[in-house]
Structure 1
């Protein structure tokens, strides 16, 4: 019974990983035309199975999806896919449920109930951990999501994954929420890599290692800086970037500061920073081509997409699809742990949850920290959302 339906499928990163782990995708859907075209291009080459639909999840019904698949309620084991992350991202305005995209979770949950799946796998940005709900209190957005799932009969396990700890050449930190019936909690994968030399673990995979495994770039893939930016980047050492001005706060007279978007020079000896969903990717000093921006194909390698995976659209569309994706290697590790649980426990218990499982101490500590920060520096932090750095460090630590 290792079947799943994929919603908000994007370029297929989560689906690729689950398929490698032995799961069978019967239905994949996304609203974005370029993402659906990407899935169709790869389906034509035999790399994608199942039904592919371009649709708004608000227009989908579980009954119609089941009819299309020739299945009945309860036949599908897993609903995979995370609603768009921009509503919760620290790089955005963090409008949460006030952003229409933040309400798409309600349709995600509706489809899950209509399909009557056994498990949910929900991926989102780490900002969801401390995101504010309708009351403006940090952490209550996640609490509301968990309460909605609890009321619908799913218990939830929330974990924070650094993809680099699972062999992905990228320091990408994301929240993964796994919904399950009480008594049916699956395990999460143990980290296989570490930054240092932990016994039994491999070292993090570097950018250089990842890029060495793909074919050389063509001339049309080389993007060089120009104008003022070229001059600014000239003296920037690897692993650093052009700083943005800080904003003073009550408890931080020196202010918060960060790196300007699109003005960071990556260190080839380390995993990449998070591959983003826009064209302002990091720069590298290529021994052959000099200072240049990471290309879409290289970003796909840093995300661990297969080398033959085809992306539709213009360069900006490809960057968006790649940056929004779940790294297939991380998805595979999660899928293997979940599928192993399927074989150990063939059916789900029928009793309802009686209380919501607590968050891991580390995640609750991050919420508590952000709450204190909100009381001390709330006004200035809300005025400069792009400078929210400290709570992200707390989560990543």
Structure 2
């Protein structure tokens, strides 16, 4: 169930590909060509009408909490119960009302009353479905901010726990709640002792991103007694930004206003690099100066990237023995999709260059106080602390910060670690940090694509949680 149009189209196409592969054992050639940018999007019903019908029934354009959605859900539940002995429910209510950023924005709205914001209570629609469906198990996901979000001086998480605990009262089995514990390269389901036990760190599962989410697993009480809660191995390798995006083709940033060509871009970057080289011409800043000087030299020698977009497959693509890259790379593809840079203001190019060079030389992203005066943005409050992290580079040798939907608005928090490229992350790079396989295509315009990537659960994490649940029920 998805109310946003472009996200729904993405999910419907994915359902189509999943059904098609299950039926035929391969992905349709029309998708491979569309994915590589060689053809326009086909009429998928003409590729396989039966599979497209199934996909359209599976991925629904509906808004959780509406009467139309409730009726569709009730019908789906009745069908499932008629066709299957047991089911598993997976989902997460919309989280804007719980997220720290969302709450900050809401406080800034005139006459905003949290109690009147229906999004705070959408978890109850999940509870309603859970109560009707009575699955063998459920997995519920939400942002970490749900633990501290309050309505009428009550924690939303407390209300959720009460509702989950009341399920089954008077008519059947209840649900035993489990959190996920990671120790020594293994994960297992455990009985939680406190609310923070439900917080899952994605990087502990090999996801190259410091993403923390609340994940609650519930097992129906008649099955919980015999559930296998032994630990299973997970991908405990610490994967970094460079591990997953380092092999993608190098790109130059675009210029959002005025002339946007290679010559203009090179001139702007070279000018910024030369300025910074001169500013840091001191012994104590020699490490930084060396990075700036190398950029000037690289541009002079023609080594700087010239393309804004590239679909070229990296060398030895699909041959990696690394577990995560083996999950991301798909040998059936003819190209990389959605690896295209957006335009940046000329004044920001120097700031991006400074941030990435700073991170490369010193191993951390600069704060506002680290910027030279010559690169200060035209903000009156630049030194008040409000803009302390206004520009943030993703460090090559570490996991990234949380990829959020804010990446759709600007790239200031998601600067590429390579100073020579001087840009923010592409949709494909953000998708790789989220561990989406390269064959996962996001429909809609680029802004909508970024939003879909930022709002997602990392598939590589989801797969490992699925393995935990499967083991428990088996």
Higher strand content, 1 or 2: 1
Q: Relative to structure 1, is the Cα distance of residues 163 and 75 closer, same or farther in structure 2, using a 3 angstrom cutoff?
A: same
Q: Counterpart of 2:102 in 1: which secondary structure?
A: coil
* Candidates 67, 78, 81, aligned match of 2:88: 78
Determine if the alignment matches structure 1 residue 336 to structure 2 residue 425.
Answer: no
Q: Counterpart of 1:123 in 2: which secondary structure?
A: strand
* Candidates 232, 238, 242, aligned match of 2:351: 232
1:165 corresponds in structure 2 to 204
Give the alignment's TM-score, normalised by structure 1: 0.66
Q: Relative to structure 1, is the Cα distance of residues 109 and 97 closer, same or farther in structure 2, using a 3 angstrom cutoff?
A: farther
Q: Write the distance in 2 (CA, Å) between the matches of 1:97 and 1:177.
A: 24
Offset, 1:330: 0.6
Alignment map for 1:11-50 (pairs within 5 Å): 29-46=1-18
CA contact (8 A) 2:135 2:220 kept: no
Alignment map for 1:142-161 (pairs within 5 Å): 142-153=157-168, 154-158=175-179, 159-161=198-200
1:277 corresponds in structure 2 to 405
CA contact (8 A) 1:149 1:155 kept: no
1:179 corresponds in structure 2 to 218
Q: Counterpart of 1:275 in 2: which secondary structure?
A: coil
CA contact (8 A) 2:436 2:458 kept: yes
Q: Write the distance in 2 (CA, Å) between the matches of 1:117 and 1:72.
A: 13
2:273 corresponds in structure 1 to none
Which of 1 and 2 has higher RCO (CA within 8 Å, sep 6+)?
1
Q: Relative to structure 1, is the Cα distance of residues 108 and 312 closer, same or farther in structure 2, using a 3 angstrom cutoff?
A: same
Q: Write the distance in 2 (CA, Å) between the matches of 1:119 and 1:83.
A: 17
Q: Relative to structure 1, is the Cα distance of residues 243 and 285 closer, same or farther in structure 2, using a 3 angstrom cutoff?
A: same
Determine if the alignment matches structure 1 residue 207 to structure 2 residue 241.
Answer: yes
Alignment map for 1:1-397 (pairs within 5 Å): 29-46=1-18, 51-58=58-65, 59-61=69-71, 62-67=73-78, 69=79, 71-72=81-82, 75-93=85-103, 98-136=116-154, 140-153=155-168, 154-158=175-179, 159-182=198-221, 184=224, 187=229, 192=234, 201-202=236-237, 204-212=238-246, 214=248, 219-220=308-309, 221-223=340-342, 225-236=344-355, 237-238=358-359, 239-243=364-368, 259-261=388-390, 263-278=391-406, 279=408, 280-281=410-411, 282-286=414-418, 290-343=421-474
Q: Relative to structure 1, is the Cα distance of residues 319 and 341 closer, same or farther in structure 2, using a 3 angstrom cutoff?
A: same
Offset, 1:37: 0.2
Give the alignment's TM-score, normalised by structure 2: 0.56
Q: Write the distance in 1 (CA, Å) between the matches of 2:385 and 2:455.
A: 26
Q: Which runs of 5+ in 1 are unaligned?
A: 1-28, 194-200, 245-253, 344-397
Offset, 1:186: 6.7
> How much is the aligned-residue C-alpha RMSD, in angstroms?
3.0
CA contact (8 A) 1:189 1:334 kept: no
Q: Write the distance in 1 (CA, Å) between the matches of 2:150 and 2:211.
A: 22
1:347 corresponds in structure 2 to none
How big is each residue's C-alpha offset from its partner over 1:280-338, in whole Å with a ceiling of 9 and x where there is no partner?
34001436x52111111111111111111110101110111111100011111110011
Would you say how many aligned residue pairs link Structure 1 and Structure 2?
292
Q: Counterpart of 2:447 in 1: which secondary structure?
A: helix
How big is each residue's C-alpha offset from its partner over 1:139-160, in whole Å with a ceiling of 9 and x where there is no partner?
x221110101111133333421
Higher helix content, 1 or 2: 2
How big is each residue's C-alpha offset from its partner over 1:191-233, in whole Å with a ceiling of 9 and x where there is no partner?
846xxxxxxx53x101111014556666241235424433434
Q: Counterpart of 1:180 in 2: which secondary structure?
A: strand
Offset, 1:130: 2.2
Q: Which runs of 5+ in 2 are unaligned?
A: 21-53, 107-113, 169-174, 180-197, 252-306, 310-339, 370-382
Q: Counterpart of 2:457 in 1: which secondary structure?
A: coil
Q: Counterpart of 1:128 in 2: which secondary structure?
A: helix
Q: Relative to structure 1, is the Cα distance of residues 208 and 157 closer, same or farther in structure 2, using a 3 angstrom cutoff?
A: same
CA contact (8 A) 1:146 1:156 kept: no
Offset, 1:40: 1.9
